[in-house]
Amino acid sequence: MKRTILYFALLLTLLFSGLGQGQSKPAADLIIANAKIWTVDKSLPTAQAVAVLGERIVAVGSNAEVDAWRGPKTLVVDAGGKLLLPGFNDAHVHFVGGGRQLDAIQLNDATSAAEFARRIGARAKSTPQGEWVLGGRWDETKWTPPMMPTKELIDPLTQDIPVFVSRYDGHMALANSVALRLAGVTAKTPDPPGGTVVRDAQGNPTGALKDAAMEYVRKVIPTLSHEQRLKAAKRALAHAASVGVTSVQNMSAGYGDIAIYSELLQRGELTTRIYAAPSIMHAEDQAKIGVRHAFGGPYLRIGALKAFADGSLGSGTAYFFEPFTNQPNNRGLLSDEMNPVSAMRDRMMAADAAGLQICTHAIGDEGISTILDLYSDVIKTHGDADRRFRIEHAQHMAAKDFERFGQLHVIASMQPYHAIDDGRFVERYLGHERASRTYAFRTFLDHHVRLAFGTDWPVAPLDPMQTIYAALTRATLDGKNPDGWFPEQKLTVAETVEAYTMGSAYAEFQETEKGSITPGKLADMVLLSEDIFSIDPVRIQDTKVLKTFVGGRLVYDASTMVH
């Protein structure tokens, strides 16, 4: 904020000294004219043109008003009447993982176990000795017939290449026998707290590992080299620009990832703004050097922490008050970080005392409720402050908790695409009544809860058009709910765009710097091929980004791309 005021003071000085000498005001570097602008700024919701000086917006208004900022060197972009929005801010991504995914084996759209195995076999053949086959995002519910994969399915096709392919929700993975051997996982290996080694009738591991049990294998996978990480980050940056994402909030960021971002920043190659939230398990690192929430500059900030309350619905590890409808002996489990809950409470107290922001993954109703208890404890102990606690996903709410969520000013950081994805099977897992509070966008808004939208990329596609389509239609991916699954929870385009821009900016303490097309803010904007406010919502999925600007810099231009 202080910087913005200083900037204006400087600008006014320039302006008036110029006028005093009979000169005109400084010319804009960039003008986008003839646009249909939706600003997400309630003081001026729509406009035709915007002027940018340096990396900030200096004027928003009609073509004629903004044209007053034109000088001989101003680059003028004629938007041709297309829709211009603030750049999208994805409040929950795994950025380097997303970049890796772009090159990794794709198993998500396999339609049978045989196809799944064939693809893994082909990738193993082209994998050099010593490297692993990783990635995958498999989804056995899309197979005919659906079945839980085992190592026997892939062992004959993978020889001595270790394979560890993840389920799309990241809460389960399948290892082949080579990987299990390297990890030392045998029939004698116990289930770790917060995890399950899936076993056959004889007690032998099937290769499937859930939640904390995945760590057995993960810890023997060679860590990414600097070059591999750099390559993945660059892939991710290019992809973000191409889909109009100008800011991301990187959950569970590794320190190695942050090192890559700061290297790219120094080289002037960071084209997406990043707020990085490393694991709360290392909260003391940021606390001891005195970093507080949103510490850093416009392109790279730290000072947030990511915690885990529980697992996921599809893996049967989200934590519920009552058992799963289809698994009477299972009501999920708290994550290993929550074992015991008092340890998480201590960590949160310390993090809050240090001024760090806490973002907690919570999916099941009791998982969410337990985190609200902890947040409430912290607030009671330390007193009121602008701390912007977040719950990531907030997927299955208990009816009693909406009120409290709002009263505690907790931000619901949600991913609408998960609603149309998990919506395929939620009722089978939870029954109709509990399912009605799945990704309950409307109920949250009714309780004055702030929404911050994102994708959890690579769990869901990074493309905001898929997310907007999901929030508007709630049409599940299996095509079974064309008019919307719990349609009373649908949002409007304006509400969705706001949650995805201003909402996410608020969730990272940056609402005065970005999130709307407003004079003084960073010039992060996206020009779309269609007017998503007026077309049939089904067509939003096919809407493309024409141009993406970050700080007034054109970072993606569809017209110059070779397809």
The contact set with Zn ion (CB under 5 A) reads 251, 456
Q: DSSP label at 523?
A: -
User: Token pair of 445, please?
Assistant: 């808004």
Looking at beta carbons only, is 251 or 410 nearer to Zn ion?
Answer: 251
> Over the Cα atoms of the chain, what is R_g?
24
Looking at beta carbons only, is 253 or 449 nearer to Zn ion?
Answer: 253
> Least distance (Å) from Zn ion to the CB of residue 8?
37
> Least distance (Å) from Zn ion to the CB of residue 92?
6
CA dihedral 310, 314, 316, 319 (to 10 degrees): 30
Looking at beta carbons only, is 395 or 473 nearer to Zn ion?
Answer: 395
- Residue closest to Zn ion, measured at CB: 456
Beta pairing partners, 93: 250, 457
Contacts for 375 with CB less than 8 Å, ≥ 6 apart: 348, 358, 389, 408, 410
Task: With H, G, I as helix, E, B as strand and everything else as coil, classify residue 90.
Answer: strand
> Least distance (Å) from Zn ion to the CB of residue 98?
10
User: Token pair of 76, please?
Assistant: 């003028």
Looking at beta carbons only, is 248 or 348 nearer to Zn ion?
Answer: 248
CA distances for 350 relative to 155, 185, 342, 346, 378, angstroms: 46, 36, 12, 6, 9
CA 274 to chain CA centroid, Å, is 11
> Least distance (Å) from Zn ion to the CB of residue 229?
18
Looking at beta carbons only, is 307 or 493 nearer to Zn ion?
Answer: 307
> Roughly what angle, to the nearest 10 degrees, separates helices 226-242 and 255-266?
70
Looking at beta carbons only, is 421 or 456 nearer to Zn ion?
Answer: 456
Amino acid present at 116 = F
> Least distance (Å) from Zn ion to the CB of residue 277?
10
Nearest one of 496, 367, 493 to 444, comparing CA atoms: 496
> Least distance (Å) from Zn ion to the CB of residue 52?
33
Looking at beta carbons only, is 240 or 251 nearer to Zn ion?
Answer: 251
> Least distance (Å) from Zn ion to the CB of residue 379?
25
Looking at beta carbons only, is 92 or 547 nearer to Zn ion?
Answer: 92
> Least distance (Å) from Zn ion to the CB of residue 243?
18
Looking at beta carbons only, is 180 or 251 nearer to Zn ion?
Answer: 251
How is the beta sheet containing 30-33 ordered, strand by strand? 56-61, 49-53, 30-33, 75-78
Contacts for 108 with CB less than 8 Å, ≥ 6 apart: 136, 137, 138, 139, 142, 168
How far apart CA 441 and CA 34 sit, in angstroms, is: 34
How far apart CA 230 and CA 528 sit, in angstroms, is: 29
How far apart CA 319 and CA 340 sit, in angstroms, is: 15
> Least distance (Å) from Zn ion to the CB of residue 82?
32
